[in-house]
Amino acid sequence: MSFSSFSDFVHMGGQGPFVWSAYGLTVVVLVYNLVWPVVLARRHAERVRRQHPTEAR
Amino acid sequence: MWNWFHRLGSPRTFFEISGRLLPWFQAGSVLLLVVGAVWGLAFAPPDYQQGNSARIMYVHVPSSILAQSSYMMMAVAGAVHLIWRIKLADVALQCAAPIGASLTFLALVTGSIWGRPTWGTWWEWDARMTSTLVLLFLFLGIIALRSAMEGREGAGRATAVLAVVGVVNLPIIKYSVDWWNSLHQTSSFSFTEKPAMPAEMWLPLLVMVIAYYLFFFTAWMMRMRAEILVRERRTEWVKQLVSA
């Protein structure tokens, strides 16, 4: 562990804003890349279902 | 061999195989991303000159590597599409572009945030940064070209040509730091020499690079599966799949 306390960890020796904004933005971009395909897949599946309603079996 | 090649090129086969691989890739990439980020943020030592801002390296370097690497993979998909007319390669190209664009954007912005405390500037029009910005424009150009053109066949071939031609930018990015005077440092890694940093720093970085590769393949597969649903919507197997 390279920090002695949690507030040290957050503070990052005065460079907290730089470090945390870089990591925060990374999380946003990575999450977007995982969530958006799920939204697309649902939307596309819905479109297929609407165009080809399944026959009553 | 050819039989195998074409079977793998079938959207349905890809859908089945990727469906089985995907949970492993998702779990692996998320696990490694968390391990690498915690390691880099809390356990890796601060740089003796830069202090804690050097921790940005663990997100900046892998996004930069993947920005270029994803372009290369996209261009290979473009070449495969042009040469063998395999439709799945066109799906691969189309789906790699937005992921590559977002990773290039991430590389540029995290680099900018790192540059401020380290070099005292957010941005410099030097070779490394400018050529990476060109990479972002190439990705965006491919996305725009696709949406601007009518007809999937022609749009697919046009974007494939653009992707392949744009490969010329990759060696420019790579050697920019050697060819021109740049604020950006030269590479700290090569296959032939020991890394120019201690193991406590390059180990978490290596974990992050592997995590980003897994992540890229995860996101790529997910997007391709969504796109296949649209392109194959008239086939029986897709109709059955969505009604199940």
pLDDT tens for residues B97-120? Answer: 999 999 999 999 999 999 999 999
% of chain B beyond a pLDDT of 90: 76
pLDDT higher at B195 or B82:
B82
- The kind and range of the H/E element at A44 are helix A16-51
Tokens of B159: 């974007």
The residue among B90 and B191 whose pLDDT is bigger is B90
* Domains of chain B, residue spans: 16-181+197-243
- Measured at the CA of B216, the angle between CA B103 and CA A21, to 5 degrees, comes to 40
Q: CA B103 to CA B71: how far, in whole Å?
A: 10
**What pLDDT is attached to residue A48?**
86
Mean pLDDT taken over chain B:
92
Chain B CB contacts of A40 under 8 Å are 223, 226-227
| Smallest CA–CA distance from B104 into chain A, residue | A29
Instruction: Please give the share of chain B, as a percent, with pLDDT higher than 70.
Output: 96
The pLDDT score that the predictor gives to residue B130 is 94
Contacts of A13 in chain B (CB under 8 A): 46, 51-52
Distance CA(B118)–CA(B116), nearest Å, equals 6
pLDDT number for residue B186: 81
Distance CA B93, CA B78 (A): 6
Q: DSSP secondary structure string, B15-66?
A: HHHHHHHHHHHHHHHHHHHHHHHHIIIIISPPBTTTBGGGGGHHHHHHHHHH
Closest CA to B62 of B208, B230, B216: B208
Whether residue A13 lies inside any domain: the answer is no
Mean pLDDT of B21-50: 95
Inter-chain contacts counted by CB atoms under 8 A, chains A and B: 106
Which of A18, A45, A48 is opposite residue B56, by nearest beta carbon? Answer: A18
Mean pLDDT, to the nearest integer, of B25-41?
97
Confidence of residue B1 (pLDDT cuts 50, 70, 90): low
Q: What is the pLDDT of residues A1-57, one digit of tens each?
A: 789 899 999 999 999 999 999 999 999 999 999 999 999 999 999 988 888 766 544
Alpha-carbon radius of gyration of chain B:
20
Chain A interface, mutation test: which of B52, B95, B121, B201, most A Cβ atoms within 10 Å?
A: B52
Q: Do B222 and A38 touch (CB under 8 A)?
A: yes
Output the CA torsion B149→B154→B158→B164 (10° steps).
Answer: 140
- Which A-chain residues 13-42 have CB contacts (< 8 A) with chain B? 13-16, 18-19, 21-23, 25-26, 29-30, 32-34, 36-38, 40-41
Residue range(s) defining the domain that contains residue A34:
24-52
Is residue B238 less than 8 Å (CB to CB) from chain A?
Answer: yes
Q: Would the CA dihedral through B17, A52, B88, B159 be positive or negative?
A: negative
Instruction: Give B116-130 pLDDT, tens digit per residue.
Output: 999 999 998 888 999
CB contact under 8 A, A19 and B225: no
B41, B44, B223: residue with CB nearest A23: B41
Q: Amino acid identity of B148?
A: A
Residue A15: inside a domain, yes or no? no
List pLDDT tens digits, range B124-173: 888 899 999 999 999 999 999 999 988 888 999 999 999 999 999 999 99
| Residue A10 maps to a domain | no
pLDDT for res B4 = 66
pLDDT number for residue B23: 97
Which residues lie closer than 8 Å to B172 by C-beta, 6 or more apart?
B127, B131, B134
Residue of A nearest to B222 (CA): A37
Asked if B102 has any chain A CB less than 8 Å from its own CB, the reply is yes
Distance between A33 CA and the closest CA of chain B, angstroms = 6
Which residue would you say has higher pLDDT here, B4 or B113?
B113
Query: Is the per-residue pLDDT at B191 higher than 90?
Result: no
Q: Which two tokens stand for residue B180?
A: 């021109």
> Does A22 sit within 8 Å of B42, measured CB to CB?
no
- Please tell me the number of Cα atoms within 13 Å of B28 on its side-chain side: 17
Specify the pLDDT at position B17. 94
Domain count of the fold of chain A: 1
Selected residue with higher pLDDT from B209 and A56? B209
Instruction: Give Rg (Cα) of chain A.
Output: 22
